[in-house]
Amino acid sequence: MHFLYSRDSRWSLEKALSTEWLETNGLGGYASSTTLNCNTRKYHGLLVSKLEGLPDKYVLLNKVEDILVQGAKESFLTTHLYPDFLQSDSFTNLAEFKVTTHPIWNFKFPEVVLTKEILMPHEENAILLKYTASGNSECSLSLRPLFSYRNFHGLQRENSSLAFGVESLPDGFSFAPYPGLPKTFFQANAKFNFLPKPLWYCNFLYARERERGYDYAEDLFSPGLIVFEFKNTREIIFSCGVARQKNELSTKWRQELDRRITDIPKKNINEFQDQLHQAGQSFIATNIINKRSPAIVAGYHWFLEWGRDAMISVPGLTLYSGQEDICLAILKTFASQESLGLIPNYFGTTKETNAYNTVDASLWFVWAVQQYCLKTKNIKEVATYFWTTIKNIFKYYREGTLYNIKMQANGLLYAGSREVNLTWMDAVVNGQPVTPRYGYQVEINALWFNMLSFMAEVAAWLKDPIAEELRQLLLLVQTSFRETFWCKEKGYLYDFVNAEEKNSLLRPNQIFAVSLPYSPLLIKTAVDVVSAVKENLLTPYGLRTLAKNEAGYIGSYQGEQNKRDGAYHNGTVWPWLLGHFVEAMLKVTSDRRKVLAVINPCLEALQRHLAEYGIGSIAEIFSGDEPHYPDGCISQAWSVAEVLRLTYLLNIGK
């Protein structure tokens, strides 16, 4: 992955404040800011950690005010935004910013060129900052660490509860401002002077939070100033983490870079796939709560490890990069947490505190197992590790489980109520679902049919007596699906059906009735569905969640939370849907060139997008109206996973 911004490219201050970099540590933690290191979100920080025994994530080290000192001249390397002032000297001296294996800044000063780099060691709650000076001028580097030490959804204000003091160590110092949160340890590979100067920096302004309708001002605390001299030493590595570094920091730095280069898959891929593979690694994390098992982070910055997102994402993130073992381990973890036929939507600290509040997480789990089987051809592993879980899902869905999830006499699945949304379109405003889709939902029953078909395949291989029951049920479900969901007047599928209505709003959920490995539709119907979705929902960045000509369409995703949630599934574009759209097109046409002609503009737009929002990754969503501004998480697991998967479906790069 290589993204370069320089003055030669007429890079603007606005661009530098709107693009964001991301470093991750394989534990769900991260470091992130804008390219000017001006934090515009409460979620930005240099050490944002998932901590054992605590919910959510915590912004510990918020930022470092770093200043190059040449005689009496001070030059800032980091930007601050206050209510009436943008301290942006760093932009004046910034010659180049690039992301290769990690973010790198090059600053030019009279007689000195300074390079700044940031790296997070794998599976450590730590951050490394490296400064390299070249030139003839003697200079010094002044670092003032600024702390939040709070939940990443919150903000800190100046308070009397914070403990000011630091503890001296042979190679640095430690700081523990609040009880119940870990110490942070500071170390360096060069001598430094620490000047205890406790100070509150007040009223940092987070512009993106203000745009999103949240509180947006924070006070940060600094325990003192750290000063390095660039004399005999021209390279400084400074670390901050929740544990002391045992190895020499330059060795730690080199080992982490070597690991990243080694872990990048190289075989039969083009540059775009290479970039997506690297982005994909950031979502694979060790879940420190659930027995240190592998997990999928749904998105950065504010999402955690969720079941639905993990099941949709794990095939694309693992099966095309030689990580079948990680895919298998993640599926085993979720299988072990199944309860009453439900796969958890997110993990609690115990199985009893898991959230089992989706209808589709279990069905997507079976699809992910199916994808693993298709890729590895190892049906024996599927039978060994997952058959019992899949049969439990079938049993409880057939007989009834939580949230009115139950197979009806017609063989279709019924789920939810007016007050409870169980599908991926689950936004809520003032306690009520924005898109109340209850009853028979089209994608849920497409997934149900696919699951039953896959079960029949495995049961036949195992000679399980359930095979005959499944064979008869499949005929019933197929017939009922066609009769229930086909909207003859519109020429496409109803979105959902219940006793009160047959909802014909044109949404993308029907595409799964074509794309999944087993489809209940006749080919003519499948062609009509793909055509309707293509003509009304396709954009360069994904599928709209509602056609523009439908009542209730909202083309702009902005404003405070209720407004944004109102638009979330009512026109907003989702990139992850492109994977199934491509799969559906490939099913209804044998001409791959026709599919490429449709999808190439999307791939070109998304490749450009890698340099415009969250650098090197794909956003969660885009606005429905042109020019389709990116929004939501700067880096979303299923966006990356499904775009990556579609490139392999189309044999791109081979």
pLDDT digits (tens, 9 = 90+) for 517-528: 999 999 999 999
Instruction: Look up tokens 């907003």; give the residue.
Output: 572
Q: Give the Cα separation of 263 and 256 in Å (integer).
A: 11
Q: How many CB atoms lie within 10 A of CB 274?
A: 16
pLDDT value, residue 227: 95
Residues 177, 255 contacting (CB under 8 angstroms):
no
Closest-CA residue to 536 (of 504, 488, 576): 504
Q: What is the DSSP pairing of strand 103-109 with strand 112-119? A: antiparallel
Side-chain-facing half-sphere of 22: CA atoms under 13 Å: 32
Q: Give the Cα separation of 363 and 405 in Å (integer).
A: 12
Mean pLDDT of 397-417: 97
Q: For residue 88, is pLDDT > 90?
A: no
Instruction: Look up tokens 């086909």; give the residue.
Output: 486
pLDDT top residue among 290 and 542: 542
Domains 3-262 and 264-649 share a fold: no
- For the domain spanning 264-649, the CATH number is 1.50.10.10
Structure tokens at 219: 């006070």
Residue 439 DSSP label: B
Residue 591 DSSP label: -
Angstrom CA distances, 167 to 147, 171, 187, 194, 237, stand at 16, 11, 12, 11, 20
Q: For residue 459, is pLDDT > 90?
A: yes
Dihedral, CA atoms, 316, 120, 619, 530, nearest 10 degrees? 0
Report the run of H or E that residue 472 belongs to, with start and end: helix 466-485
Q: For residue 44, is pLDDT > 80?
A: yes
Structure tokens at 68: 């190059």
Mean pLDDT of 188-192: 92
Residue 291 — very low, low, confident or very high, per pLDDT cuts 50/70/90? low
Q: What is the DSSP pairing of strand 496-497 with strand 413-414? A: unpaired
626 CB-contact burial (10 Å; exposed 0-12 / middle 13-18 / buried 19+): exposed
Structure tokens at 479: 């017939």
Amino acid at 13: L
Cα-trace Rg, the chain: 26
Distance of CA 142 to the CA centre of its chain: 34
Mean pLDDT of 23-45: 97
Residue 288 — very low, low, confident or very high, per pLDDT cuts 50/70/90? low
Strands laid side by side in the 496-497 sheet: 440-441, 496-497, 502-503
The full set of domain ranges for the chain reads 3-262, 264-649
For 162-170, the CB contacts below 8 A with 24+ separation are 162/221, 164/198, 164/223, 165/223, 166/194, 166/196, 166/223, 166/224, 168/194, 169/244
Residue 298 DSSP label: -
Q: For residue 292, is pLDDT > 80?
A: no
Mean pLDDT for the chain? Answer: 94
pLDDT value, residue 1: 56
Closest-CA residue to 16 (of 91, 66, 76): 91
Mean pLDDT of 52-80: 94
**What confidence tens digit (pLDDT) does each residue in 322-381 have?**
999 999 999 999 999 999 999 999 887 778 888 899 999 999 999 999 999 999 999 999
Q: Give the Cα separation of 591 and 493 in Å (integer).
A: 25
pLDDT value, residue 607: 97
Amino acid at 200: W
Mean pLDDT of 84-105: 92
Distance of CA 95 to the CA centre of its chain: 30
Structure tokens at 229: 């001299």
Within 131-285, residue ranges assigned H as helices are: 207-211, 249-263, 271-281
Amino acid at 142: S
Would you call 187 helix, strand, or coil by DSSP? strand
Q: Give the Cα separation of 162 and 174 in Å (integer).
A: 14
- Vertex 72 angle, CA 67 and 74, to 5°: 20
Structure tokens at 137: 């001028």
Mean pLDDT of 562-578: 97
**What confidence tens digit (pLDDT) does each residue in 194-243 have?**
999 999 999 999 999 999 999 999 999 999 999 999 987 789 999 999 99
Q: For residue 443, is pLDDT > 80?
A: yes
Q: What is this structure's pTM?
A: 0.96
Residues 603, 620 contacting (CB under 8 angstroms):
no
- For the domain spanning 3-262, the CATH number is 2.70.98
pLDDT value, residue 267: 56
Q: Residues 634-650, buried b or exposed e (16+ Cβ, 10 A)?
A: bbbbbbbbbbbbbbbbb
Mean pLDDT of 71-90: 92
Q: What share of the chain has pLDDT > 90, as a percent?
A: 86
Mean pLDDT of 383-410: 97
Residue 90 — very low, low, confident or very high, per pLDDT cuts 50/70/90? confident
Residues 422, 403 contacting (CB under 8 angstroms):
yes
Respond yes or no on whether the N-terminal peptide bond of residue 294 is cis (omega within 30° of 0). no
Q: What share of the chain has pLDDT > 70, as a percent?
A: 97
Residues 374, 518 contacting (CB under 8 angstroms):
no
pLDDT value, residue 268: 54
Residues 46, 22 contacting (CB under 8 angstroms):
no
Q: For residue 262, is pLDDT > 60?
A: yes
Q: How many CB atoms lie within 10 A of CB 350?
A: 10
